[in-house]
Amino acid sequence: MNMLRLISLLGVLLLPGTGAIAQMSLTPPGVQPPATDKPKPLERPAEKPKAAEKPAEKPPTPAAAKKPVPAPAAVGKPAGPPLAGPPATTTAALPPSTDPNADLVYGAYQRGQYKTALDLATARAQAGDPKAMTMLGQLYENAMGIRRDFDKAASWYKRAADAGDREAMFALAMMRLAGRGGAVDRQEAVKLLASAAKLGEPKAAYNLALLYLDGQTLPQDLKRSAELLRMAADAGNPEAQYALATFYKEGTGVPKDLGKAAQLLQAAAVAENVDAEVEYAIALFNGTGTSKNETAAVALLRKAAKQNSPIAQNRLAHVLISGQGTSIDKIEALKWHLVAKTAGKGDPSLDDQFAQMSADDRAKGELAAKRWLGTAK
């Protein structure tokens, strides 16, 4: 089954090969270093983040991300993999209703009482309540309180969408993209996403922006993609905020504006988007589009490193061994270096520096890394 994938923006963070770090800097996404025997510049992890999912009370642990964000090349055709279908299973929750009976359905769902939610939603759906129909689609799609049935899920979403429910439009669009509950139908998915976005559904606007960015299902239109990202970003969608920051950073579909890029990165970072935390940390460290603050940058790198971002772990190792923005801690630096190395983000320049540590300090750093990775005996 295909997965709807974002087009990755991999900003390149250049680090010197010497011991002390003089500066961190970014190069435009999509620029690949020439083939050489010398160590290549470190790149952002080429992970394939998930597309925006149906609404959830709490952000997924990414991905759902949850999860990286679309990223255009500086000009022309965007770099990265094409769009495909969405994740096989998504989680959603209906927004609270002013109807006390509907709130019973929503409350049961929120408490994990899915069988109760199913029974209550069934009665209300049969009475013509579109929100209850959407709830039934959610329960059938994700096997909550009942056996998974994509056909029934699509049927309930279709009824709710026809009644004007934007959440159902988005959910059905994602099913059509994935070919669940029917054949893949990208054209119908586009129409549903457009209708949901017009009604103010931020995740629909975000995913539609990806289709305009990709240029396969729809003609590539970077300006329209940016408009849709702005709609979703203004509604508080962190993935859209991160993506739009990329647009402003590179001047793609919008005038280049490093200040707006930094503001959007900050908003997405506050919303726990790990990639945004890393990018905003880099902006703070460099003073790019915002006031330079190495101490705050290191704090964000620590946070992202603890959320298993290999690029953050690598950058944190660099600042810990140099003491820029924080106190020198070679043992902790070695720990994060080794952890990042297991994810393919090793750095030969750091290997050379850690080789000069005492055997006792190296043993402590290696043990700390094993404990973090869960491999300590």
Task: Mark whether 228 and 298 lie in a shared domain.
Answer: no
pTM of the model: 0.73
Same domain assignment for residues 223 and 108: yes
Whether residue 38 has pLDDT greater than 80: no
pLDDT attached to residue 81:
26
Domain assignment of residue 335, given as a range: 293-373
Q: 226 and 298 in one domain?
A: no
Is 238 a member of any domain?
Answer: no
Average pLDDT on 192-197 reads 98
Answer whether residue 3 shows pLDDT above 90.
Answer: no
Who wins on pLDDT, 264 or 28? 264
The three state secondary structure string of the chain is: CCCCECCECCCEEECCCCCCCCCCEEECCCCCCCCCCCCCCEECCCCCCECCCCCCCCCCCCCCCCCCCECCCCCCCCCCCCCCCCCCCCCCCCCCCCCHHHHHHHHHHHCCCHHHHHHHHHHHHHCCCHHHHHHHHHHHHCCCCCCCCHHHHHHHHHHHHHCCCHHHHHHHHHHHHHCCCCCCCHHHHHHHHHHHHHCCCHHHHHHHHHHHHHCCCCCCCHHHHHHHHHHHHHCCCHHHHHHHHHHHHHCCCCCCCHHHHHHHHHHHHHCCCHHHHHHHHHHHHHCCCCCCCHHHHHHHHHHHHHCCCHHHHHHHHHHHHHCCCCCCCHHHHHHHHHHHHHCCCCCHHHHHHHCCCCHHHHHHHHHHHHHHHCCCC
* Same domain (yes/no): 201, 304: no
Number of domains in the chain: 2
Among the candidates 232, 262, 279, a domain finishes at 232
**pLDDT score, position 51:** 55
The verdict on residue 72 lying in a domain is: no
Residue 68 resides in a domain = no
Please write the tens of the pLDDT for every residue from 93-124. Answer: 444 445 555 578 889 999 999 999 999 999 99
Average pLDDT over residues 144-152: 97
**124 within some domain:** yes
Residue 64 domain flag: no
The reply to whether 218 falls in a domain is yes
The reply to whether 106 falls in a domain is: yes
The CATH number given to whatever domain includes residue 147 is 1.25.40.10
Task: Point out the least confidently predicted range of 161-165, 224-228, 343-347.
Answer: 343-347
- Same domain for 188 and 114: yes
**What is the rounded average pLDDT for all residues in the chain?**
79
Are 207 and 325 found together in one domain? no
Q: Tell me: the pLDDT tens digits for 308-358?
A: 999 999 999 999 999 999 999 999 999 999 999 999 998 899 999 999 999
Q: Is residue 299 part of a domain?
A: yes
Q: Are residues 214 and 116 in the same domain?
A: yes
Q: Among 65-74, 125-134, 259-268, 284-293, which stretch is predicted with the lowest mean pLDDT? A: 65-74
Same domain, 225 and 302: no
pLDDT of residue 106: 87
Q: Which of 212, 232, 252 corresponds to the end of one domain?
A: 232
pLDDT for 98 equals: 52
